Amino acid sequence: MNPINHVAIIMDGNGRWGLKYKKSRNAGHKAGLNTVEKIIKETIKNKIKYLTLYAFSTENWKRPKKEINYLFSLLENFLIYKIDDLNKQNIKLKILGVKKFTKKLNKLLSFSEKKTSKNTRLQINLALNYGSKFELINAFKSLQKKKISINEKNFCRYLLTKNIPDPDLLIRTGNTKRLSNFLLWQLAYSEIFFEKKLWPDFNEKDYNSIIKKFKNIKRNFGKI
Ligand code: FPP
């Protein structure tokens, strides 16, 4: 059985869910946040150490302002009301991405990271204003500038995921089969599961069924 240490998720389908059931994309994001909470609990139950959630990509800035503002207000409230609870549960929060939001949100994100930085039960990496191509170019540039030789080990030290093991498993909900500029380097050997359900409909049973399938896959890592 494969050990499972790190799960990464592309939480796709909020907008479609909201339009289908509530006539607004934002209602889908709100419902998506409930799924986030359920999946965090289930990740702990499964004793998984890292959970990376793709919450906002560098490309998502192209969305209407109303939707962007709503997403950030959801995140703000989530942190204001839940960070103490996450901390009590020994959960560490790390932001993957460039913190270029409102002053209030930037401060809240840094505060939440600092408050939970020593926690050890689960690390949640929230990919926010994250783009893999940007991350890769940045890592190359840093190595070049510091005249450090380019090899795999040095390169990893300049990624946003420094000190985080690569995902064992990637799940993308929403019936779409693409990576959308997410962890292009880190997913080199991850097992990928594309799930038909929209993110707000995804539940603990779906998650556990994927984990079970993952555990039984023969992972070769290039060997036979
Ligand atoms: C993709 O669905 C989802 C996002 C861009 C945002 C994800 C946000 C949440 C799950 C809620 C907030 C989370 C936190 C951690 C506070 P989409 O809108 O692209 O869906 P679509 O493909 O149906 O349009």
pLDDT of residue 27: 98
Look at residue 166 and give its three-state secondary structure: coil
Q: Label residue 220 by pLDDT band (50, 70, 90).
A: confident
Q: How many domains does the chain have?
A: 1
pLDDT at 224: 81
**Closest ligand 1 atom, CA of 19?**
23
The answer to the question of residue 16 being in a domain is yes
223 assigned to some structural domain: no
Residue 176 lies in a domain: yes
Establish whether 12 is a catalytic residue.
yes
Q: Is residue 81, in this structure, part of any structural domain at all?
A: yes
Q: What is the mean pLDDT of residues 70-87?
A: 98
State yes or no: is 106 an active-site residue.
no
What is the pLDDT averaged over residues 153-162?
A: 97
Is 202 touching ligand 1 by the criterion CB < 6 Å? no
Q: Which two tokens stand for residue 192?
A: 């990928």
Asked if residue 162 is part of any domain, the answer here is no
Q: Does residue 215 have a pLDDT over 90? A: yes
pLDDT score of 148? 97
DSSP-derived 3-state class of residue 158: coil
Catalytic residue among 2, 5, 46, 60: 60
* 127 alpha carbon – ligand 1 mean position (Å): 12
6 lines ligand 1 (CB under 6 A): no
221's torsion region: left (phi>0), alpha (psi -120 to 50) or beta? left
* pLDDT value at residue 191: 97
pLDDT of residue 223: 87
Rounded (to 5) percent helix, strand, coil in the chain: 50, 15, 35
Q: Note down the domain range covering 19.
A: 6-131+167-215
Domain harbouring 106, CATH code: 3.40.1180.10
- Please say whether the beta carbons of 149 and 118 come within 8 A: no
